[in-house]
Chain A
Amino acid sequence: MAWISFLAALIPLDGLGHYLHWGVIDISVANFIVILLMIATFVAALLLPFPGRSRRKESK
């Protein structure tokens, strides 16, 4: 069943993790990236203009 090899991960995260330390904080790079992305997404959601609505409003 060679087609199944399609299902193997392209970049499996199977190596030992890397960790970041700042004082008491000790966080895995993977978790750090996830949390950073969450904050970035939140900030982007606040700042990026929402399409469609503004144009309609201007035409009102």
Chain B
Amino acid sequence: MSTDIDHQWTTRLRRKVAGKLPPEKLLPDTQPSYVSSWIYVFGVTTMSALAVVIGTGFLLSLRGPQWWHESSVGHFVNSLHLWSVEIFFFAMVVHLWGKFFMGAWRGGRTATWMTGVVTFLASIATAFTGYASQSNFDSQWITTQAKDGINSTGAGAFFNVLNLGQMLMWHIVLLPLAAVILTALHVLLVRIKGVVPPYADKAGEAL
């Protein structure tokens, strides 16, 4: 017998979430036994690097955008931020290659692949706005060059790479938020759908 409580939006949402993503899927304690390769570590490595990127970004924000030019502590924090970004992209690209060669979109995992690709693109935009926000020779050159590309698409009318304030805001608020939300979505999809099984030897024959 369905009751009023069954029809509540809250109840229905909770049941739907719990059905799709029960705790044992969200935080699994076993993996299918085909998951046995170093290539599987690059997803979690990318996420860890993202955490370090965000953590070092928080440290940089504590004393404001000029700090890292003036203080050796600030410059060191900037170095941490830069190298965590290099590790982040490094791991993400190896992860992407690995997932491509596994055909990881199979078995209803199209959205997992797609959110991964969008996360990659959003990360490139986030990194770019970081380079544009450096307020040094590098950012002067990068922005005056990049403006031509972005202006040529029409987007430059709204996204002015020469406006330091706008680039910094996008870099530290809007794009990281997008990257984190996309990453969360991507990881939830991985947890819901599980890791893609190996290609079947004969069409459709489960191994």
Contacts and interface: CB of A to CB of B under 8 A. Distances in A.
Interface of A: 4-5, 7-9, 34, 37-38, 41-42, 44-46, 48, 50, 53-54, 57
A34 B86 contact: yes
Interface string B91-103: 0011001100000
- Nearest 4 A-B pairs (CB), nearest first? A53-B36, A45-B38, A7-B76, A45-B39
B90 A38 contact: yes
B94 A41 contact: yes
A57 B33 contact: yes
B88 interface: no
B195 to A, nearest CB: 14
A46 B39 contact: yes
B37 A37 contact: no
B71 to A, nearest CB: 8
Max count, chain B CB within 10 A of own CB: residue among A38, A44, A48: A38
A60 B76 CA distance: 50
B94 A7 contact: no
B44 interface: no
Contacts of A50: 36-38
Given A44-B38, A45-B39, 5 more contacts: A4-B72, A7-B72, A7-B73, A37-B90, A42-B94
Interface string B39-57: 1011000000000000000
B75 A45 contact: no
A8 B94 contact: no
B72 A5 contact: yes
Contacts of B144: none
A53 B35 CA distance: 9
A38 B86 CA distance: 11
B137 to A, nearest CB: 13
A8 B72 CA distance: 7
14 contacts: A7-B73, A7-B75, A7-B76, A37-B90, A38-B90, A38-B93, A41-B94, A42-B98, A45-B41, A45-B42, A45-B94, A50-B37, A53-B33, A57-B36
